[in-house]
Amino acid sequence: MAKLEQLDQKVVWITGASSGLGKALAAECASLGAQVILTARRFEELETVRQSLAHPERHISIKADITDESQVRHAYEQVLQQKGRIDWLINNAGLSQRALIKDTTMQTERAIMEVDYFSQVFLTKTVLPTFQQQKSGRIAFISSVAGLLGTQYRASYSAAKGAIHMWANSLRAEVAQDGVGVSVIFPGFVKTNVSFNALNGEGKPQGYQDEAIENGLEAEEFAKQTVQALLKGDEYIVVGGAKEKLGVFISRLSPAILYRMIRKMKVK
């Protein structure tokens, strides 16, 4: 059995760290001794999260909009200047959707793809030389069970999350010889504010909580399961309830059965 990786004093960079899954992942990593780099657009919220973590003095908040390439480059320079290395990069920042295809503008389609795919590609390409020089480290992407299955009201989101999964698979094959690991996490329904911020067809936040999200896995439990899987070096990580895991299983067993099930599902 491979030796379990340790996080003590490792540098973990998490995007979308001001709330939700990112905040929970930061808390879990900090509790295991990591030095956490928190990145999001809202500095005050990042600082609130940093102060709540174990050993707050170890961690740093770096404000950046991950869709702005110059801000991403500057954030990367700050990380290296202050920490000198990156052991884990967790591409978590994301944007969800709650709209039928016929009601979704092309501007909204592109906005979701920009956040959930292109920005993660750019950040990863920016930091990749550091991982390759170190000959170590792990790059993780928060995809979604929706990126494996595709459901109503989430077409653009499912497409973007599926795209980052495939891109990560290619990256894994290319950097394996450099000692760099690549993991993709597929959350099911997790209780966060993601549905409040999910875009409707016109590109505006939905503004209310979905029933499925409200009844989902606690963010802290998601973070615990995810970090343990990353420490084991897992590459394909599904974290969710029984229904989501069953859906993923059936998607491999019989896509036709899955598609019939999805048509009957209540997903909004």
Residues assigned a catalytic role: 157
209-216's contacts with Cβ under 8 Å and 24+ in sequence apart are: 210/98, 210/268, 212/266, 212/267, 213/189, 215/189, 215/191, 216/188, 216/189, 216/190, 216/191, 216/240, 216/241
198 Cα distance to chain centroid = 15
Residue 186 φ/ψ, nearest 5 degrees = -120, 90
DSSP alpha helices (H): ranges in 96-234? 106-113, 119-134, 146-149, 155-175, 194-197, 211-214, 219-231
The helix (H) or strand (E) run that includes residue 52 is: helix 43-52
The DSSP symbol for 267 reads: -
